[in-house]
Amino acid sequence: MRQLLTILSAVVLLAYPFAIYFGIERFGISLVGVVLIVALGVRLFSVQRTQLKELKSVVQISAITGISLVGLSILFKQHGWMTFYPVVVNLCMLIVFASSFKQPQTIIERLARLQEPNLPESGVAYTRKVTAIWCAFFIINGLIALYTCFQPLEIWTLYNGLISYLLAGTLMGTEWVVRQFIRRDH
pTM: 0.89
What contacts 33, CB < 8 A, 6 or more positions away?
Answer: 70, 71, 73, 74, 82
Coil, helix or strand for 17?
A: helix
pLDDT at 179: 87
pLDDT at 42: 86
pLDDT at 6: 61
- Express each pLDDT in 69-78 by its tens digit: 999 999 999 9
pLDDT at 67: 96
Digit-by-digit pLDDT tens for the chain (186 residues) are 556 656 766 776 788 999 899 999 899 999 999 999 998 988 888 877 666 677 778 888 889 999 999 999 999 999 999 999 999 999 999 999 999 999 999 999 998 898 888 988 988 999 999 999 999 999 999 999 999 999 999 999 999 999 999 999 999 999 999 988 887 776
Q: Look at residues 41, 35, 45, 44 and name the one whose alpha carbon lies nearest to residue 15.
A: 35
The single-letter DSSP state of residue 47 is G
- Whole-angstrom Cα distance, residue 151 to residue 35? 24
pLDDT at 51: 62
pLDDT at 183: 79
Rg (CA), the chain: 18
For the chain, the structural domain boundaries read 2-185
Residue 35 corresponds to which amino acid? V
Q: How many CA atoms lie within 13 A of 118 on its CB side?
A: 0
Query: Contact, 96 vs 58, CB < 8 A?
Result: yes
Burial class (CB in 10 A: 0-12, 13-18, 19+), 45: middle
pLDDT at 14: 80
pLDDT at 9: 63
